[in-house]
A = this chain, B = another copy of it.
Amino acid sequence: MPEPSGYTYGTDEAARSPVSLAELDELRGSVGLTSEDEHYLRMAADVLSPQAEAMVDTWRGLIAEQPHLAAYSAHPDGRPNPEYSAASKPRFAQWIIDVCTRPYDQAWLDYQQEIGIRHTRTAKNRTDDADAPDHIPLRHLLAFTAPLILTTKPFLEGHGHSPDQVERMYAAWAKAVVLHVTLWARAYTTPANW
């Protein structure tokens, strides 16, 4: 699979994270992410990677049916914006794969800052030169954590793993999602508040 357009992971084009690796270590502790969870994220990668686009379709289905969410991927006047959705979809799918496979190191940390600012006035629409609202309020990112976690369970089931393995992959996924969204929130607050 070719790299998605606008996917600048590990390159000089990505933002630098203002978060230190020591702060990241603290956050890993707060969410409870252990090396065992990383093992189960790698296991989940095998299950979720071939389904990543279908997962994005599920999430976008939820977004599409809620006008207050759909607005951010439409044109500013509300007209549908299929070009923007098509351009950003491969990156959204790649995010799922990255959650499960990337080492959570400096390059990964930097890219979470890049993803964060791509939801805000700082950089939304820039990557795809999109004509769309220029800022997604933080509450919508935070609230959508719930479907990002909960809708993933069915994608983990039915692929040959035991119920216990599914449960552990699911818990690891939940922790990882919360960690990612917490880092994205950095783009919305002052350093002292974040």
A: residues with CB less than 8 A from B are: 23, 26-27, 29-33, 62, 66, 68-69, 120, 135, 137-140, 142-147, 149-150, 171, 174-175, 178-179, 181-182, 185-186, 188-189, 192-194
Query: Which residues on the B side are within 8 Å of A62 (C-beta)?
Result: 32
User: CA–CA, A30 to B33, complex, Å?
Assistant: 25
Cβ-defined contact, B32 with A68, below 8 A: no
Beyond A30-B140, A188-B193: 5 further Cβ-contacts under 8 Å? Answer: A27-B143, A30-B146, A30-B147, A31-B144, A139-B182
Q: Top 8 closest A-B pairs, CB basis?
A: A30-B143, A31-B146, A146-B178, A142-B182, A26-B68, A146-B175, A143-B182, A31-B143
Cβ contacts A to B, 24 pairs, < 8 Å: A26-B66, A27-B143, A29-B66, A29-B68, A30-B66, A30-B69, A30-B139, A30-B140, A30-B143, A31-B144, A31-B145, A31-B147, A137-B192, A137-B194, A138-B185, A139-B194, A143-B178, A143-B179, A143-B182, A145-B145, A185-B185, A188-B189, A188-B193, A188-B194
Decide: A185 near B139, CB < 8 A? Known: A26-B68, A32-B62, A69-B30. Answer: yes
**Contact (Cβ within 8 A) A142 B185:** yes
Inter-subunit contact A32/B185 (CB<8 Å): no
Known: A27-B139, A150-B32. A145 touches B178 (CB 8 A): yes
Evaluate contact between B30 and A144: CB separation under 8 angstroms. yes
- The dominant DSSP class at the A interface is helix
Which residue of chain B has its CB nearest to the CB of A62?
B32
Number of copies of this protein chain within its complex: 2
Contact A175 B194, beta carbon cutoff 8 Å: no
Chain B residues within 8 Å of A150, by CB: 32, 171, 174-175
